[in-house]
Every structure is written in C-alpha cells, then in structure tokens.
C-alpha cells in the first residue's frame, strides 16, 4: 500500500509539472507603470508567455517604496501562479529602514535576476574636476562644504553615495528630493554639487552636455555609457561594486517543479539577443544567474545596505 501511495504521489507530481502553468500567471510589480522594474517585468513577462504558453499578466501595485506590492506578493498562495518583479529597494534596502509585513529571506524564493545596472556619479559640466580622482581630492579637501542630491532618504542612490563617501573619505551634506528628476535638475543648475542616479536617468543628460559623468558604481562599465569608467577602476576602489538589481521572485513554498520551470524559461529569455537589446535600450544591463546562487546574493545585498544605513545613521521620517 505504501508503495502504491508513493507511486500515486509521484505520478500526480509529474502530471502537475507537465501541466504547469495550467492558467494565467500574475506578475506583481510594486511600482507604477514606466518605472524600470515595470519595464523589465513586461519584457520578461512577454517572453515567459511565449515560452510557457500561458498569459503572464502584469499587475502594478505601487506604494511605500515598493513595499505594498511586495507584501501582497508575499501573502499570495505559493502555487506558482503569482510571482513578484523584485528589486533592490523593497527587498534589499527597506528591511533595514522600516517595519514591513514581509521578510524577504523568509517569504520569497528568488527565481533569478533579470538585470543588475550601475548608478552614475554626475556633476554639472562646469564643476571644477575633470575626472573622478580630481573630484574626490577637491571634495575631500573641503569637509561639509559640498552637497549631494538623491531621489529621497534611503533611496538606492542615497545609500550608494553614502558608501562611496565613506570609502573615499568625503564628508558632504545630503539634500534629499522627491524623485530623481528634481534632484538632477538642481545638480544641472548648480544648486547641489553631485548626484548618483540610474544610467537611464543620467545618460540622456550626459549625451546632451547637461551633466558630466565621473564614473559608474559597478565594477563593470555600463553598456549605455561604455566611455565612462567604473569608480572602482578610476579610483582603485576594488570593494566598490554596487548597483540596482531587478529579478523575479515567488512566494516561499512554491512547488519546486514550478520554480524550475520559471527559472528555465527566464534563463532562456535572457539568453535571447532580442531581450538583451530591449533591456539595454531601457538602460538596464541584462544578467543571468543560477538559482543556487540566489540566497547568498540576497543575503550579501541586505547586509551591505544594512551596514551603510547603520554607519550613516539613516532613518526615515515618520
């Protein structure tokens, strides 16, 4: 009887795997339409739909720095029919800044990464530094005189600059804004000295001559700005390698066969030239990852940002 039950369960599991997905899969994007995570999710959802033969329907659920939609995904049934367009903010950063309704390492299984893209250190064209080395020397020589902008306290760009300032011995005053656009505008106008923002946000201004790019935050150069050196390369800072990541996650407890199907389809999609080209056109550097590397990756990202937040005494206003 036990053998018969075991065989029955094995046959059912096999049949379930063959049928997955048997219906539409919902992709929760915890950001508004047009944001980078949303763009990446829609590109990938289209490919997964073609590969797996069922609709992958994007549902935008923005709010509270991505935590509203992320919490909704965490509470969803772990059956493979709800996945999350995960990203640095709500997964790697927010747990160290706020009390949340989810715990990323406990509540999610990472299916894989979609992109990992650098931020760009930028100044106005007239700023008296020709490169990153001159910039650091100048700003470091005048503690607390210079200012840096961000799209908000605790935003990725803010934390990447706090880490950069700490590693280079810079002491400058943080000026938070409500979004990247006003922050970049005030840097271009000379109201604030420097900023670190996404390639997608900065590159058009660099090409138009409105901003000067001094370096990118990842060890590898950005595809969209290949002429701009990495800060690690320009300043001999081998430990400075950070950027924004976007990936696909599922509620913890998802059947292993469903996770494997999603992971395989995601890797197939990211290997396609057309998908890589679409991501790069959106200012996102495509990246492929192995499922077994995901827990370590998430842990390292959380620990990195938690350390920056503690060291810089960053808190969110109530």
Give the residues across from 58 on adjacent strands: 27
Domain with CATH 3.40.190.10 in the chain: 119-235
What pLDDT was estimated at residue 317?
A: 61
All CATH 3.40.190.150 domain ranges of the chain, comma separated, are 2-117+243-311
Cβ–Cβ under 8 Å, residues 171 and 144: yes
Q: Please determine, for residue 109, whether its predicted confidence score (pLDDT) is greater than 80.
A: yes
What 3-state class would DSSP assign to 251?
A: strand
Element (H, E) at 170: none
DSSP label of 151 = S
Q: Is the alpha carbon torsion for 234, 116, 72, 294 positive or negative?
A: negative
The answer to whether the CB of 237 falls within 8 A of the CB of 215 is no
And the tokens for 214?
Answer: 């001094």
Query: What is the tens place of the pLDDT at every residue in 263-305?
Result: 999 999 999 999 999 999 888 899 989 888 999 999 999 999 9
* Confidence at 179, pLDDT banded by 50, 70, 90: confident
**CA distance to 36, 39, 136, 179, 271, per residue, from 42 (Å):** 10, 5, 39, 23, 16
- Minimum mean pLDDT range among 177-181, 230-234, 246-250: 177-181
- Reported as a single tens digit per residue, the pLDDT across 54-96 is 999 999 999 988 999 999 999 999 999 999 999 999 999 999 9
Q: What is the DSSP letter of 202?
A: H
pTM of the model: 0.84
pLDDT above 70 for 4 = no
pLDDT at res. 120: 96
CATH of 2-117+243-311, one of 2.70.98.60, 3.40.190.150, 3.40.50.2000, 3.40.50.300: 3.40.190.150
- Work out the percent of the chain whose per-residue pLDDT is above 90: 76
State which fold the 119-235 domain adopts.
Answer: D-Maltodextrin-Binding Protein; domain 2 (3.40.190)
Q: Are 272 and 114 in contact (CB under 8 A)?
A: no
- Calculate Rg over the CA atoms of the chain: 21
| For residues 173-186, average pLDDT | 93
SS3 132: helix
């Amino acid at each position: 009887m036990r053998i018969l039950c075991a065989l029955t369960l094995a046959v059912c599991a096999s049949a379930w795997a063959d049928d997955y997905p048997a219906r539409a899969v919902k992709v929760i994007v915890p950001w508004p339409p047009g944001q980078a995570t949303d763009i990446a999710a829609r590109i990938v959802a289209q490919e997964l739909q073609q590969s797996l033969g069922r609709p992958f329907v994007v549902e935008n659920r923005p709010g509270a720095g991505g935590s509203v939609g992320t919490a909704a995904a965490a509470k969803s049934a772990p059956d493979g029919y709800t996945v999350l367009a995960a990203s640095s903010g709500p997964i790697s950063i927010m747990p160290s800044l706020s009390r949340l309704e989810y715990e990323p390492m406990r509540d999610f299984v990472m299916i894989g990464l979609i992109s990992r893209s650098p931020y760009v250190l930028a100044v106005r064209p007239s700023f008296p530094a020709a490169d990153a080395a001159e910039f650091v020397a100048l700003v470091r020589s005048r503690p607390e005189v210079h200012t840096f902008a961000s799209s908000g306290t605790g935003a990725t760009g803010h934390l990447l600059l706090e880490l950069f300032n700490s590693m280079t011995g810079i002491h400058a005053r943080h000026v938070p804004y409500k979004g990247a656009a006003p922050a970049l505008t005030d840097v271009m106008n000379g109201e604030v000295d420097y900023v670190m923002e996404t390639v997608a946000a900065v590159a058009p201004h660099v090409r138009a001559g409105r901003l000067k790019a001094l370096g990118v935050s990842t060890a590898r150069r950005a595809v969209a700005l290949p002429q701009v050196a990495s800060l690690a390369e320009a300043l001999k800072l081998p430990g400075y390698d950070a950027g924004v990541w976007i990936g696909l996650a599922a509620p913890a407890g998802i059947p292993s066969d469903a996770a494997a199907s999603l992971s395989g389809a995601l890797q197939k999609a990211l290997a396609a030239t057309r998908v890589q080209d679409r991501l790069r056109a959106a200012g996102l550097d495509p990246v492929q990852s192995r499922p077994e590397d995901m827990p370590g990756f998430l842990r390292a990202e959380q620990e990195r940002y938690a350390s920056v937040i503690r060291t810089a005494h960053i808190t969110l206003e109530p």
